[in-house]
Amino acid sequence: MSKINAALIGSGNIGTDLLYKALRSDWINPVWMVGIDADSEGLARARKLGLKTTHEGVDGMVPHMQEDKVQICFDATSAYVHGENNRKVQEQGSIMIDLTPAAVGPFCVPPVNLKDHVGKRELNVNMVTCGGQATIPMVAAVSRVQPVSYGEIVATVSSKSAGPGTRKNIDEFTQTTAGAVEKVGGAKQGKAIIILNPAEPPLMMRDTVHCITEDEPDQAAITESIQEMIREVQKYVPGYRLKNGPVFDGNRVTVFMEVEGLGDYLPKYAGNLDIMTAAGLRTAEMFAEEIINGTLVLQPEVA
Amino acid sequence: MNLNGKKITIHDMSLRDGMHAKRHQISLEQMISVASGLDAAGVPMIEVTHGDGLAGASVNYGFPAHTDEEYLRAVRPHVKNAKISALLLPGIGTVPELEMAADCGVDTIRVATHCTEADVSEQHITKSRELGLDTVGFLMMAHMVGPEKLIEQARLMEGYGANCIYVTDSAGYMLPDDVTQRLKAVREALQPETELGFHGHHNLSLGVINSLAAVEAGANRIDGSAAGMGAGAGNTPLEVFVAVTERMGVETGVDLFKLMDVAEDLIVPMLDQPIRVDRDALTLGYAGVYSSFLLFAKRAQQRYGVSSRDVLVELGRRGMIGGQEDMIEDVAMEMAKAQGVQQ
């Protein structure tokens, strides 16, 4: 079966973890990795695995995109540079899967709204944040049962798994996640909190989701909906687990999640990488399928 | 200890850290009356925010009686001489809230991170300096790392533009020597014009002596709280600290008797429970646990029938840091399951 050639922009934690997952994909063929540091460990790994690399940013790859038929790019850099990266690769006719919290394109949280993106001819979709991918399915699991007036998520990741991009973009992380708790999760008001915990050995990603329902929560229906949604997420992140809850306290519904990664790049504690990269890849595969079956035709703006 | 002739700046926490003790339910009238009283007593700096800083309003930390903006706008016109500060924890609060606080007329922004995570404060410290505000980098839970790490993190914040760095004993765990060692090291590492501060908690009843050790080591800003109103067993009780410093010849510019009156006549009648070293607060100081976990652990005991002390010790063992209030209920549920307690 043919695959669609893809480029990974960003050679940090997310980009490198995504590389390993993309190499196993039936639809995506990673051919380029773009970095900005010649000594980057991610670029060295990519070269070893047979990808072309550049340490001159997107500009180092753009002249080769046509010849190498790059049709899908993943941006795993930072919200600050995403706009420019996006413009440059779209000029070359590539779709952009945005793994930064820039939120230029519409949000995609696969178990909740991947199907909404089918056939839309979107050239940029945003994967929210790792915290968003881990929690928004739970908010949606409650809001599909009954109206949620307020959704709040607390994402805790180990310090080691939060790279410089995440740290420089911490405001974008909370703002983008809160926005997607509303737009994708279905809460009328959204709030997001992120904690970086430096404990050794590193803690596994933890996510606490609080929903306030408008009326008294239907405990049985919500519990069932949550269990069903967990099974959906587990299809692409097997280590996504309910640790405690759901707790029902008045109109508050709280679930305590744990996300164990596959350990592709960072060890298994860094489930925050996996849930982001697996979601990004899942989304890219949907687009790749559309390109292959001819329903999505991409053309460079500059011949 | 000879501190004679030293000049220090006192920073009152009762209307921010004290929010923890009041479950963030301080009324606007109480805010105004305490802030006016502190101002009249010559306290030069007063912090006003949700206990967990700007945008702390949440299920996780508690919804306050009023928004940060309502508190700041209410208090500002009543404070004539003191500077007003707002706290911001990156990951909770963001630049737009910082701008809101600046618009409300705060003079100082304190950007607080865990003591190893200073690099999440760049956006906020940069913005605060850009707005021309007195800008503090606040390293929390500083007992968890040694002087070398604190130096590295303090320099990051200084590099982003903080003109004052705090070493913060959020768990009230440090012994006086711990304070001396850390503050001396950080003092030597920072530019001479960068100020140094210490924020203590009274969980081991060491708030006053630790603050004196900090002054001796070169700190010139000291946090405390009238009547100690703050998380855990409270902050360094400010009126006690001022009395001691006055006897030692330290200049604070604070009118001791007026401050005592604020503590006794305004703060004490507001308290929902006495601020004291009870069993759980002592556990915080003994086990090195974030002070604002106190009331959450007590509530978890009520709901899940597990010992709040055991919950706190377990949180400390797991290396939980400031802001992880969600893990209190999680740990309590796990302990309840293990003990076979019916929920």
State whether A190 and A260 are in the same domain.
Answer: yes
Cα–Cα distance for residue pair A60/B272, rounded to 1 Å: 63
Between strands B221-224 and A240-249, the pairing is: unpaired
Please name the residues between 91 and 110 in chain B that touch chain A, using a CB distance below 8 Å: 91-92, 94-95
Go through the domains of chain B in sequence order and give each one's CATH number: 9-270 (3.20.20.70), 279-339 (1.10.8.60)
Provide the CATH number for the domain around residue A227.
3.30.360.10
> Nearest-CA residue of chain A relative to B337?
A244
- A297 falls within a domain: no
Residue A76: predicted pLDDT: 95
Q: Are residues A249 and A135 part of one domain?
A: yes
- Compare CB distances from B330 to A191, A197, A256 and report the shortest one's residue: A256
Phi, psi at residue B46, to the nearest 5°? -135, 130
Domain assignment of residue A230, yes or no: yes
Count of domains forming chain A: 2
Same-domain pairing of A167 and A143: yes
> What would the mean pLDDT of A220-230 be, rounded to a whole number?
98
What CATH number has the domain bearing residue A32?
3.40.50.720
Is A300 within the bounds of a domain? no
Nearest to B329 among A152, A170, A247 (CB): A247
Domain with A53, as residue range(s), is 4-127+277-292
Residue A201 and residue A166 share a domain = yes
Q: Is A206 in Cβ contact with B323 (below 8 Å)?
A: no
User: Which residue matches tokens 């980057």?
Assistant: A40
Q: Interface of chain A against chain B, CB under 8 Å?
A: 150, 152, 154, 156, 159, 164, 167-168, 170-171, 173-175, 191, 193-200, 203, 206, 208, 210, 212, 243-245, 247, 252, 254, 256
Confidence of residue A179 (pLDDT cuts 50, 70, 90): very high
Residue A197: closest C-alpha in chain B: B321
The answer to whether residue A301 sits within a structural domain is no
Cβ separation of B333 and A245 shorter than 8 Å?
A: yes
For residue A206, the distance in angstroms to the closest alpha carbon of chain B comes to 9
Indicate if A15 and A33 belong to the same structural domain: yes
Helix (H/G/I), strand (E/B), else coil: B246? helix
For residue B23, the number of C-alpha atoms closer than 13 Å in the C-beta half-sphere is 7
Cα–Cα distance measured from residue A33 to residue A58, given in angstroms and rounded to the nearest whole number: 9
Q: Mean pLDDT score of chain A, rounded to an integer?
A: 94
In a domain? residue A282: yes
Whether B66 is catalytic is: no
Within this chain, do residues A218 and A104 fall inside the same structural domain, yes or no?
Answer: no
Residue A303 lies in a domain: no
Question: A82 with A173, same domain?
Answer: no
Distances (CA, A) of B55 to A208, B69, B86: 18, 10, 11
What is residue A302's predicted lDDT score, i.e. its pLDDT? 53
Contact (CB<8Å) A159/B123: no
Structure confidence at residue A299 (pLDDT) = 76
Catalytic residue selected from B20, B24, B199, B201: B20
Same domain, residue pair A120 and A143: no
Q: How far apart are CA B44 and CA B260, in angstroms?
A: 16
- Position B342 pLDDT exceeds 60: no
Examine residue A299 and state whether it is found in any structural domain, yes or no.
Answer: no
Q: How far apart are CA A135 and CA B309, in angstroms?
A: 30
Asked if B321 and A164 come within 8 Å (Cβ–Cβ), the reply is no
Mark whether A36 and A148 lie in a shared domain: no
Is residue A303 scored above 50 in pLDDT?
no
Question: What is the least distance, in Å, from the CA of A211 to any CA of chain B?
Answer: 9
Task: Tell me, yes or no, whether A138 and A261 share the same domain.
Answer: yes
Helices B176-189, B147-160: crossing angle, 10 deg rounding? 40
Domain assignment present for A80: yes
- Phi/psi for A95 (5° steps) reads -75, 150
Structure tokens at A145: 């049962």
State pLDDT tens for residues B241-291: 999 999 999 999 999 999 999 999 999 999 999 999 999 999 999 999 999
Residue B119: φ, ψ to 5°: -75, 0
Query: Which of B94, B122, B333 is facing A168, going by the closest CB pair?
Result: B122
Whether residue A283 sits in one domain with residue A194? no
Is the confidence at residue A1, as pLDDT, over 70? Answer: no
The count of CB pairs under 8 A between chains A and B is 89
Residue with tokens 């109103």: B229
A244 → closest Cβ in B114, B324, B334: B334
pLDDT band at A301, cuts 50/70/90?
A: low
**A35 and A110 assigned to the same domain:** yes
What is the band of A168 on the pLDDT scale with cuts at 50, 70, 90? confident
